[in-house]
Structure 1
Amino acid sequence: MKSNKFIVFFLIKFFGTYALLSFLYGLYLNNTQHTSNFFTCAPITETVANQTVAVLNTFGYEASVAQHPNELSLNLTLNNVIIARVIEGCNAISIIILFISFIVSFSTTFWPTFLYIVIGSFIIYAINVLRIAIICIALYKYPNYQYVLHDLLFPSIIYGITFLLWFVWIQKFSKLKK
């Protein structure tokens, strides 16, 4: 009976946190993205795209980003070639929401949980920016492998890091540690 209580409590905390954060993120998107008269992506998506450009420029590529005129995306140009569209799903916020929901579900005291959420979210965000930069370089050099690179290899990086952070949380910090 005790294990059922734990599972129910876990599910309530997980889905409650996920629903709340997703709702707040949806409000943010509704208030910052524009589609009437002109298109404007949310500031967090623009920030991710601009930071990706900074990383690419640091690697010696000539990169730039511009709002797509007809959709909610940003065109990322690499050496004068539009190489990618950065969309809302590229900013890693949905993955960070999933990450936070899991950590809250296995939360301990406030400060360790809070600090792990902040540090873990920063790691996911930073890895995501690097991931986008590397995928842009890979797509520039190997455009015929777009499906494998974009749909298989590079999502596994961001989800793999998230899973690793969850694993560390469970093993080192949660109430379940042995």
Structure 2
Amino acid sequence: MKTYFILYKPFLIFLASFFLTYIILTFLYQNYLNSFAENRADTITKIVSKNTEQVLLLFDQDASVKESATRPYYKIIYNNKYLARIVEGCNAMSVIILFISFVVAFAGKLVYTLLYIIGGSVIIYLLNVIRIAALCMLIFYFPEQQSFLHDILFPLYIYGVVFILWLIWVRKFSKYASKNIK
């Protein structure tokens, strides 16, 4: 048994640090969400909604985001049409938690790790806001493609970005990065 532990030690450390980070961050985020009333959206979702509205206004002056009075979401109105709603799951926090957990599991130097976590989280946040705005505009012009856009294309987009950020982290900055890549 000791031989297997020694043989697979790097993998076991990766798994332990990944899951420990993921569990802690998820627990903290869930406690944050539980601090809001049942029919009120959380602050992060509110900020994402307002930023989405700002992006939509860059393309068309007839765009707004309004908080639902009875449910925890924001309504997106584009060209006088109620197109979609932004719920807690749209704010990309679960994706950011997954991203951070992976980076911590492949941690490099502390400063690089922290800077990459902050920079990567900001990139994911910004691209998520753009994703929501683009999704709304595309649904307005191509309503028959809503399922494809929402369920396939845009999740592929956001998780693809996270995967690319992971690859960059592992290849360039983590403690496992090859220093002699030519």
Question: Normalising to structure 2: TM-score of the pair?
Answer: 0.92
Aligned to 2:130: 130
Are 1:106 and 2:109 matched, yes or no? Answer: no
Code of the aligned partner of 2:147: Y
Would you say 1:153 and 2:153 are equivalent positions?
yes
1:65 CA displacement: 1.2
Unmatched tracts of structure 1, length 5 or more:
none
Deviations 1:67-101, CA, capped at 9 Å, x for gaps: 22332211111111111110001000000000000
The whole-number CA distance in structure 2 between the counterparts of 1:142 and 1:70 is 29
Partner of 1:158, secondary structure, is helix
Aligned to 2:139: 139
The question of 1:6 aligning with 2:5 is answered: no
Whole-Å separation in 2 of the counterparts to 1:53 and 1:62: 10
SS of match in other structure, 1:107: coil
- State how far apart, in whole Å, the 2-side matches of 1:140 and 1:148 are: 14
Once the two structures are superposed, what CA deviation does each residue of 1:132-171 show, in whole Å capped at 9, x if it has no partner? Answer: 0000000011111111000000111100000000000010
Partner of 1:26: 30
Gaps of 5+ in 2: none
What does the per-residue CA deviation read over 1:40-65, in whole Å, with 9 as the maximum and x for residues that have no partner? 10010010011000000011241111
Report the Cα offset of residue 15 of structure 1: 0.4
One-letter identity of the residue aligned with 1:75: K
Q: In the alignment, is the contact (CA less than 8 A) between 2:109 and 2:175 conserved in 1?
A: no
Q: Which runs of 4+ in 1 moved over 3 A?
A: none
Kindly report which structure 2 residues correspond to 1:56-135, keeping only aligned pairs within 5 A, or say none.
Answer: 56-135=56-135
Task: State how far apart, in whole Å, the 2-side matches of 1:143 and 1:15 are.
Answer: 39
Structure number with larger C-alpha Rg: 2
Mean Cα deviation higher: 52-61 or 85-94: 52-61
Q: CA RMSD in A?
A: 1.0
Is the Cα contact below 8 Å between 2:99 and 2:162 reproduced in 1? yes
